[in-house]
Amino acid sequence: MKSTENHEPGDATAIEAEAMAWLAEREEGFAPGRAAAFEAWRRRDPRHAASVAELEQVLAQLDGLEERRAEVNAHFNRVSPPPPPGRDTPALAPTPGPNVRWWRPVLWSGLAAALVLGAFLGFRALPSAPGPETRYATTTAGYERARLADGSTLELNTASAARVQFTLAERRVELESGEAHFEVAHDTARPFVVSAGGVAVRAVGTAFNVRFVSGAVEVTVTEGKVAVERVNPNALSAGPTLIAANQRLALPLVPAAAPAPVIEPLAAADVRAVLAWQRRVADFSDTPLAEVTARFNRHNTLQLLITDPTLGARRIGAIFALDDVEAFVRLLERDGIIRAERQGDTIQLHAP
């Protein structure tokens, strides 16, 4: 989890200035090695990535107003951008011409100037205009960890899908299916909202897990706090419910007439169990073999089939890597628990 400490206002101003300079240099064409330097700077701090993303969205919107270029250029003075870090020669002020992007003077005036431009042109939709949407999905044997544009982290469990779309006012994710864990970069100006099955989870800087389970949406907070609320217009709601770290709340997909959310406190071991899928290992203790093989089957295309119900009821205990089904079968064979027969994408487990 990235730090959520408060920073001085001057830090944000300096970061924005550096982001502006980097984007100007990228527009003119990076010299050898500068693209890698820019990427390293962007990844160094989630605030860097967030500033670049915000500026790119502003510029994408302004790009659509080319027919107003004369009016815009008359409204703003051209100024020289600050040099990006590590560059010896200061950038020259752009000169009007066919190869100069018309919105560049707006960039150097900062986000405040962009907002003034919006008022000047009556373009009030600018701050909330959506950026491009990105979809992430995993198979029944898959797992994905993605770094989002604002520095937040998205992790998807098996058979899961999510759509991500950011605006200048909000960061929004729709969990379509399965389970996901989020580590949210701190940004009080842009709340991070995850919607799933008519339930919305709202956070600023925190870490939490969301999954569809047994006809419900389950939210587990591992760091910070989140507000959970129904967004289905046909569902009754008493307002948002605040959930803190080491707490869990499950809201039915089809709520009762008088929903009464119950927050469940979790011990440290319970939280680790909720997030065990991230480690791709499972700790089984006196667990029926049928249940263990079912866990493996959810994580692998190579499927295990128990041919004897008595064998399925046999209890075992160990820590297994869920993505290494072959090692699991070899261990059972070595201990004389099963006899394995391999047929294509299936391994039949027989009594020894």
Asked if residue 2 is part of any domain, the answer here is no
Asked if residue 273 is part of any domain, the answer here is no
Residues 149 and 216 in one domain: yes
- The per-residue pLDDT for 117 is 42
pTM of the shown model: 0.51
Residues 261 and 140 in one domain: yes
Q: Are strands 179-183 and 281-288 parallel, antiparallel or unpaired?
A: unpaired
Are the C-beta atoms of 77 and 44 separated by less than 8 Å? no
Residues 183 and 306 in one domain: no
Asked if residue 227 is part of any domain, the answer here is yes
Beta bridge partners of 244: 225
Residue with tokens 């709202």: 202
Asked if residue 272 is part of any domain, the answer here is no
Number of domains observed in the structure of the chain: 3
- The per-residue pLDDT for 122 is 38
- The per-residue pLDDT for 92 is 38
Residues 229 and 253 in one domain: yes
**What average pLDDT values come out for the chain (352 residues) when binned by 10 residues?**
41 80 79 82 83 73 51 46 49 39 45 42 43 85 85 92 92 96 91 94 92 92 93 64 94 70 91 84 84 85 91 89 86 92 92 92
Asked if residue 256 is part of any domain, the answer here is yes
- The per-residue pLDDT for 73 is 52
- The per-residue pLDDT for 322 is 80
Q: Are strands 315-321 and 171-177 parallel, antiparallel or unpaired?
A: unpaired
Asked if residue 304 is part of any domain, the answer here is yes
- The per-residue pLDDT for 56 is 73
- The per-residue pLDDT for 256 is 63
CATH number, domain of 198, equals 2.60.120.1440
CATH number, domain of 313, equals 3.55.50.30
- The per-residue pLDDT for 195 is 95
Exposure of 352 by Cβ count < 10 A (0-12 exposed, 13-18 middle, 19+ buried)? exposed
Q: What range does the domain containing 155 cover?
A: 134-266
Residue 281 CA to residue 272 CA, distance in Å, equals: 11
Residue with tokens 């009464």: 260
Q: Are strands 207-213 and 216-223 parallel, antiparallel or unpaired?
A: antiparallel
- The per-residue pLDDT for 288 is 93
299 Cβ neighbours under 8 A, 6+ residues apart: 140, 141, 158, 280, 322, 323
Residues 260 and 291 in one domain: no
Residue 17 CA to residue 61 CA, distance in Å, equals: 20
